[in-house]
Amino acid sequence: MKPNFNKNYKGIMCRVYLVKESSGSEVIVLSDPSTAYDLIRKELESSDRERFLSIMLDNRNHLIGVETVYIGTINAVSVSPRDIFKSAILANAVSIILAHNHPSGDLVPSDHDIALTKILTEAGDLLGIQVLDHLIVS
């Protein structure tokens, strides 16, 4: 006889839902990096710590949403591909744009930034979610 795991399991059962909170709002199309920059600039420029954002897009580059994935320290943020792509998968995003800030004011990508972009691009390729760009804001 096959066990009924739902009946035997005594822990907390959970479900994950994606809820679209805005309706009837204007469609935002991100056609180039400057449009994406304009969208997130104020949020990242004003932060005194590194913040890492994921901008999720549909197949016509319409904005689905922006998620703050991580808030780090003054000079570092620890990022995991699993956490970056979680909301993109739930939102049925076709592509994402990554963005983070450098509170130091230095716009040059670090070796870590370059390696991270490569890892996230490869992870996106495996998942079928294209990483279109990785913006650094200061």
Give Cβ neighbours of residue 120 (< 8 Å, ≥ 6 apart).
79, 81, 84, 98, 131, 134
- The answer to whether the CB of 37 falls within 8 A of the CB of 137 is yes
How confident is the model at residue 77, as a pLDDT?
Answer: 85
Q: How far apart are CA 69 and CA 71, in angstroms?
A: 7
How confident is the model at residue 13, as a pLDDT?
Answer: 65
pLDDT along the chain (138 residues), means of 10: 58 64 76 93 91 96 94 87 94 96 92 95 98 95
Q: What angle (nearest 5°) sits at the alpha carbon of residue 28, between those of residues 22 and 30?
A: 140
- The CATH fold of domain 22-137: Cytidine Deaminase; domain 2 (3.40.140)
Q: Where are the domains of the chain?
A: 22-137
Q: Which stretches within 1-138 are classed as H helix?
A: 5-8, 33-45, 81-90, 111-127
How confident is the model at residue 76, as a pLDDT?
Answer: 83
- The answer to whether the CB of 125 falls within 8 A of the CB of 93 is no
Residue closest to 100 by CA, chosen among 53, 40, 31: 53
**Prediction pTM value:** 0.82
How confident is the model at residue 15, as a pLDDT?
Answer: 66
